[in-house]
Amino acid sequence: QSVLTQPPSVSGAPGQRVTISCTGSSSNIGAGYDVHWYQQLPGTAPKVLIYGNNNRPSGVPDRFSGSKSGSSASLAITGLQAEDEADYYCHSYDSSLSGWVFGGGTKLTVL
């Protein structure tokens, strides 16, 4: 069981908006540690999508955005496209474990 909790799956039609939640606790997200998001296409390594809660690396479309509040964070994807179909993971630091922790991953299906 992952330290950060994500829904196993979400889905949406092309053009729609979806959000993926990431729930932590007082030893990770709630303690103020940054949240990062990764996209993983089948058979490939994860790729950073959002870093530092709400920052996009160059090359990542502005359809992707991140937010954080309390012990939770969210990834929002607007204008869904077929190419967005992938697994998404949140990532933070946990002070009680003294290490990095990840969510269990959310599979996004574009209907």
Partner 1 sequence: QVQLQQSGPGLVKPSQTLSLTCAISGDSVSSNSAAWNWLRQSPSRGLEWLGRTYYRSKWHSEYSVSVKSRITVNPDTSKNQFSLQLSSVTPEDTAVYFCARGTDGYLDSWGQGTLVTVSP
Note whether 85 binds partner 1 by CB under 8 A.
no
| Minimum CB–partner distance for residue 72 and partner 1 (Å) | 18
Note whether 57 binds partner 1 by CB under 8 A.
yes
Q: Which of 82/98 has CB closer to partner 1?
A: 98
36: which residues sit within 8 A by CB, 6+ positions away?
48, 50, 51, 52, 90, 91, 92
Residues that contact partner 1, how many (by CB under 8 A) = 25
Note whether 48 binds partner 1 by CB under 8 A.
yes
| Of the residues 21, 25, 27, 51, which one makes contact with partner 1 according to CB under 8 A | 51
Q: What's 5-33 look like in SS3?
A: ECCCEEEECCCCCEEEEEECCCCCHHHCC
Residues forming the site for partner 1 (CB under 8 A)? 2, 33-34, 36, 38, 44-48, 51-52, 57, 89, 91, 93, 97-105
